[in-house]
Structure 1
Amino acid sequence: MHDIPAALGDPVRQQTLTAMYREHHGWLHGWLRKKLGCSQQAADLAHDAFIRVLMLSEPQHIQEPRAFLATTAGRLLIDGARRRRIEKAYLQALAIQSEDAGVPDPAAIHVALQALERIAEMLTGLPAKAREAFLLSRLDGLTYSEIALRLNVSPSSVKNYISSALVHCYHSLHAADPLS
């Protein structure tokens, strides 16, 4: 599931991670519990935040651990909300479609949700207009001129937005799978 950094056996790294966990896990869990109102969700998110710290190549360079952990946990909250919105939209689309064609296979639903989640991850970090132009082009099938009207920009700007989105997706794919 997660690729563990090769330097995990480094004693300085282990000491840094252990100290950070001891000093800040309780605080992070409490902070998340107040935000979420659920101790179990808070525990899961705190765990995921520390997994992200574990994945860093040099966690000893974190200057402000609580700020880093809060930012990481906040991003995880946003990722979770985005995932739930994608799942809800997909399930609504399936409900509309299933009225005509029957209920789809649960495995197919799972695969489609994973693909949608991966697409959402790939588009993270893109400027809003580039992301919107890309989605309007790829999902809605709009032409560059139609997108330009919606975004109140020129068609050449739309072309640049979509080009940058494609490059961003390409780099995102190759960062996730360096062998491809």
Structure 2
Amino acid sequence: MPEFSVAGDDLARRQQTFTELYSNHHSWLHGWLRKKLGCSQRAADLAHDAFIRVLTLAEPQSIKEPRAFLATMAGRLLIDGARRRRIEQAYLEALALQAHDAGMPDPAAVHAALEALEKISAMLAGLPTKTREAFLLSRLDGLTYSEIAIELKVSASTVKNYVASVLVHCYNALYAEDSTA
């Protein structure tokens, strides 16, 4: 019986911490994002996403500087969104070129490709920033490991390890998905 009360107390503390964090900082984060984006709706969506990520933290009470933490998290969400839009735009441009050469692509194929891109984006979302960035710079921008190493201020062998770890991560995520289906 004591386990339930400890777990219940911990859950209550986490809920209280989250409620206080949300109450004290949501308006500020929304305003900060609105100034950056110039769009209240997108700012509201990103603020919501930032607080969803806070919910997934093991110890939200360990956040010492909430506004700095939330701004960093929201900034990362902005970067992830920009990357996703860049991937989608590159794909749509490739489709437009292909359509010009061989007729319009099937709308179902476009939809399937965009779903695949979203799936890839979701798989990459949980990775460390430099690891994810190394992979994207390699695969999207076509940079060599040496060029990526200079940009990320790490060694080329570290970049190689980053890219390899992303590939293993994606393989494991796909394998886990296939085994549950």
Answer yes or no: same fold by TM over 0.5: yes
Among all aligned residue pairs of Structure 1 and Structure 2, give the percentage whose two residues are the same amino acid.
58
Across the aligned residues of Structure 1 and Structure 2, the Cα RMSD in angstroms comes to 3.7
The one-character-per-residue Cα deviations of 1:119-166 (angstroms, maximum 9, x if unpaired) are 45538532866654x428xx97xxxxxx58x8599xxx9788546412
Which residue in the other structure is 2:45 paired with?
44
Which piece of structure 1 moves more, 163-172 or 70-79? 163-172
Q: Is this contact kept in 2: 1:45–1:76, CA < 8 A?
A: yes
CA distance in 2, matches of 1:47, 1:152: 32
Asked if 1:125 corresponds to 2:119, the answer is no
Superposed counterparts of 1:1-180, under 5 Å? 10-119=11-120, 122=124, 125-126=130-131, 132=137, 134-135=138-139, 151=147, 161-162=159-160, 164-174=162-172
Q: Is this contact kept in 1: 2:134–2:163, CA < 8 A?
A: no
SS at match of 1:82: helix
Contiguous gaps of at least 5 residues in structure 2: 1-6, 150-154
CA distance in 2, matches of 1:152, 1:18: 41
Q: RCO (CA 8 Å, sep 6+): is it higher in 1 or 2?
A: 1
CA distance in 2, matches of 1:71, 1:152: 23
Judged with a 3 Å threshold, the aligned counterparts in structure 2 of structure 1 residues 162 and 107 are, in CA distance, closer, same or farther, namely: farther
CA distance in 1, matches of 2:168, 2:109: 25
Contiguous gaps of at least 5 residues in structure 1: 1-5, 141-146
Q: Is this contact kept in 1: 2:134–2:148, CA < 8 A?
A: no
CA distance in 1, matches of 2:19, 2:110: 39
CA distance in 2, matches of 1:108, 1:74: 32
SS at match of 1:99: helix
Letter in 2 for 1:169: L
Which piece of structure 1 moves more, 32-41 or 157-166? 157-166
User: Alpha-carbon deviation of 1:176?
Assistant: 8.4
CA distance in 2, matches of 1:20, 1:152: 37
Letter in 2 for 1:126: T
Give the TM-score taking structure 2 as reference length.
Answer: 0.71
Judged with a 3 Å threshold, the aligned counterparts in structure 2 of structure 1 residues 176 and 109 are, in CA distance, closer, same or farther, namely: same
Aligned length: 162
SS at match of 1:103: coil
The one-character-per-residue Cα deviations of 1:8-66 (angstroms, maximum 9, x if unpaired) are x8111110110100000010011111111111111111111111111112211111111
Judged with a 3 Å threshold, the aligned counterparts in structure 2 of structure 1 residues 14 and 178 are, in CA distance, closer, same or farther, namely: farther
Which residue in the other structure is 1:144 paired with?
none
Letter in 2 for 1:15: Q
Give the TM-score taking structure 1 as reference length.
Answer: 0.71
Which residue in the other structure is 1:3 paired with?
none
Judged with a 3 Å threshold, the aligned counterparts in structure 2 of structure 1 residues 50 and 95 are, in CA distance, closer, same or farther, namely: same
User: Alpha-carbon deviation of 1:114?
Assistant: 3.2
